[in-house]
Amino acid sequence: MSPKWWPVKFYCWAELPTKNNDIGCLSVKLGHPFSFFNFKATTMEHKVNEIQISYREKLSTLKSLSVTNSNEVAELLFQNWDNKTIGLHETFKIVLLNQSNKVKGIYPLSHGGITGTLVDVRILFAIILKTLSVGIILAHNHPSGQLKASYQDKQLTQKIKQAAQLFDVKVLDHIILAPDGRYYSFADNALI
């Protein structure tokens, strides 16, 4: 019995140049000594979305505020927090910094409920990497006014800090704001 050859569509990720501009041809011997299959490769027919990453500064970072302590950061955060909602629900924001601790921007990462908010660490690092930030300060508010870091606050901070080390990003502080203008700093309390 002579071997039979069947054409089979095969998708290949690398181009292998040939005389007749096919990607390539591969013969594979399978199982039975007389069964051969001819796999003819063709170009990839499926299209995928193009990813575009951009960051545009409205204000020059070189002219922005350079933060050096938790008091300056808390003051900046209170100026950029919605006074109408700071006592209603939790919001999590990140302060994005350059190498000189100049503020590149403040990004509102999530809005939650009365007692908590969810933080997607993947989105957090997408923002950090997209803005080419080398330092960050985490911030959220406690609508209750209680200025004590919860177990969940500490766990989240450690999780973000560990992930940031992989990207050589410094987590400088985590600030908790109260509606009455007080704040709590993880750095000032040796928690970071």
CATH number at residue 170: 3.40.140.10
Q: What is the DSSP letter of 87?
A: T
Question: What pLDDT is attached to residue 51?
Answer: 64
Question: What pLDDT is attached to residue 43?
Answer: 57
Phi, psi (5° rounding) for residue 175? -105, 130
H/E segment holding residue 138: strand 135-141
Q: What is the DSSP letter of 129?
A: H
Could you tell me the two tokens for 173? 């502080």
Whether 37 and 73 map to the same domain: the answer is no
Tell me if 177 sits within 8 A of 145, measured CB to CB.
no
Rounded Cα distance between 132 and 121, Å, is 16
Average confidence (pLDDT) per 10 residues, the chain, 192 residues:
53 43 42 48 65 65 82 94 89 94 92 88 94 95 92 96 96 96 95 89
Whether 71 and 31 map to the same domain: the answer is no
Total domain count for the chain?
2
Whether 176 and 121 map to the same domain: the answer is yes
